[in-house]
């Protein structure tokens, strides 16, 4: 006959054993339910098979060069598997590409240059650590050189149409200077002075033969990779319906203002819109007021 102390120890041991068995059964059932619901391999990762021929702005890329091929493959892989960013680029492309294409056609700029804006900013009015701003990422001094106003109250680097026109003018100038669109894009990234020095020091005249910073070494390849994915998204595993894209901004009209606006919130309400709507349509207005002592004409988008 067991003493009470021994009996209690035995009872505790049995209880622990039963609890362990119960936990095992529950975990096994839960694991089976999970496996029934989810594939144990939620995704399969594949390398990118490159084509035999690529071009940038109508200029053939020397893909037979192993170094060139590997640099392009790197950017294809990075952008293919950067899922969220690539999906957002595809969605925003529907909104902004028509604006770019119209201005490019008028200015004689290759269509491929719209992907440069994706590489620069992912089609958003962002600011870089180097204080470049807007979809086209102009620094303030360069912006002013191309007739974009940058002041305490106005930053036209955030004006979609004006900044796109300035980008066209900049790219055309670099193309005339360096002779190819690939080098024009490189100059856009690193600046024409730095590019010219690298070409002179290295005695090279072709972008693909230059050894510059890692960022610029990758730059044109990144644009080409973005182009290939955005032109053929399903080929790279991106399935987005047209109804899921971000539509072009509509429902506004443009009015001319040549006087000071003391309070943008009051102005917005007078135009039957919210302050937020006014800022979304006109992100170049960066404060809560718009002083205009020189009576400059501003084109402001307001709701129809």
Give yes or no: residues 237 and 263 share one domain: no
Residue 10 lies inside a defined structural domain of this protein: no
- Listed residues 244, 261, 288: the one ending a domain: 244
- The pLDDT of residue 295 is above 50: yes
CA 185 and chain centroid, separation:
16
Same domain? For 184 and 73 the reply is yes
pLDDT tens track for 140-171: 999 999 999 999 999 999 999 999 999 999 99
User: What would the pLDDT profile of 220-260 be if each residue is shown by its tens digit?
Assistant: 999 999 999 999 999 999 999 989 999 999 989 999 999 99
* Look-up of token digits 């690939």: 182
> Token pair of 246, please?
């971000």
Per-residue pLDDT band at 32 (split at 50, 70, 90): low
Question: What DSSP state is assigned to residue 39?
Answer: -
Question: How high is the pLDDT of residue 42?
Answer: 65
Scan for tokens 């900049």, then name that residue.
Answer: 170
In a domain, residue 44? The reply is: no
Q: For all residues of the chain together, what is the average pLDDT?
A: 91
pLDDT of residue 2: 45
Identify the domain boundary among 208, 223, 244. 244
Same domain, 235 and 98: yes
Percent over 90 (pLDDT), the chain: 82
Q: Which domain holds residue 257?
A: 252-303
Whether residue 260 sits in one domain with residue 238 = no
Nearest to 225 by CA among 44, 43, 63: 63
Distance, CA of 177 to CA of 171 (rounded, Å): 10
**Same domain, yes or no, for 81 and 151?**
yes
274-291: average pLDDT: 98
Bridge partners for 299 per DSSP: 256
User: Residue 101 domain-assigned?
Assistant: yes
Answer yes or no: do 59 and 175 share one domain: yes
What is the token pair recorded at 197? Answer: 């020095």
Residue 76 sits in a domain whose CATH number is 1.10.530.10
Among the listed residues 71, 58, 57, the one whose alpha carbon sits nearest the alpha carbon of residue 115? 57
Report yes or no: 207 and 61 within 8 Å, Cβ to Cβ.
Answer: no
Distance of alpha carbon 54 from alpha carbon 62, whole angstroms: 8
Q: Are residues 257 and 293 in the same domain?
A: yes
The answer to whether residues 286 and 234 belong to one domain is no
- What pLDDT sits at residue 46? 82
Report if residue 225 sits inside a domain. yes
Band (pLDDT 50/70/90 cuts) for residue 120 is: very high
Give the pLDDT score at 29. Answer: 54
Q: What is the pLDDT of residues 52-79, one digit of tens each?
A: 999 999 999 999 999 999 999 999 999 9
Using 50, 70 and 90 to split pLDDT, how confident is the model at 178?
A: very high
Say yes or no: 142 and 222 in one domain: yes
Residue 7 above 60 pLDDT? no
Domain count along the chain: 2
Query: Is 17 part of any domain?
Result: no
Flag whether pLDDT at 4 surpasses 60: no
How high is the pLDDT of residue 1? 47
Among 212, 244, 276, which residue terminates a domain?
Answer: 244
What are the structure tokens assigned to 45, written together? 């990762």
Q: Is the pLDDT of residue 281 over 70?
A: yes
| 236 in the same domain as 267 | no
Q: What is the mean pLDDT of residues 3-14?
A: 55
Tell me, yes or no, whether 166 and 275 share the same domain.
Answer: no
For residue 21, tell me if it sits in a domain: no
> What residues contact residue 145 under an 8 Å CB cut-off, 6+ apart?
none
- Domain membership of residue 159 (yes or no) is yes
Rounded Cα gap, residues 174 and 284, in angstroms:
26
In terms of domains, do 187 and 235 share one? yes
pLDDT at 44: 77
């Amino acid at each position: 006959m067991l003493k009470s102390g021994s009996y209690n120890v035995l009872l505790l041991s049995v209880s622990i054993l039963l609890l362990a068995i119960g936990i095992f059964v529950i975990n096994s059932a839960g694991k089976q339910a999970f496996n029934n619901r989810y594939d144990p391999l939620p995704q399969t990762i594949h390398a990118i098979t490159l084509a035999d021929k690529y071009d940038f702005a109508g200029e053939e890329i020397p893909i037979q060069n192993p170094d060139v091929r590997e640099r392009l493959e790197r950017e294809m892989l990075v952008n293919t598997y950067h899922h969220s960013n690539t999906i957002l680029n595809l969605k925003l492309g529907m909104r902004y590409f028509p604006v770019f294409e119209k201005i490019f056609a008028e200015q004689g700029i290759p269509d491929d240059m719209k992907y440069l804006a994706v590489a620069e900013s992912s089609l958003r009015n962002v600011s870089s650590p180097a204080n470049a701003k807007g979809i086209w990422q102009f620094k303030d001094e360069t912006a002013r050189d191309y007739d974009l106003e940058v002041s305490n109250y106005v930053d036209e680097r955030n004006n979609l149409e004006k900044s796109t026109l300035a980008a066209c003018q900049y790219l055309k100038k670099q193309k005339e200077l360096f002779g190819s669109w690939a080098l024009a894009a490189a100059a856009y990234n690193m600046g024409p002075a730095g590019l010219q020095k690298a070409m002179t020091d290295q005695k090279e005249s072709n972008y693909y033969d230059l050894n510059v910073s890692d960022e610029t070494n990758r730059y044109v390849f990144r644009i080409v990779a973005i182009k290939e994915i955005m032109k053929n998204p399903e080929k790279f595993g991106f399935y987005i319906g047209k109804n899921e894209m971000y539509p072009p901004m509509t429902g506004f009209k443009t009015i001319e203002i040549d006087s000071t606006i003391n309070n943008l919130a009051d102005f917005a309400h007078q135009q039957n819109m919210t302050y937020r709507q006014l800022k979304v349509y006109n992100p170049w207005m960066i404060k809560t007021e718009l002083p205009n002592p020189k009576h400059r004409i501003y084109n402001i988008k307001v709701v129809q």
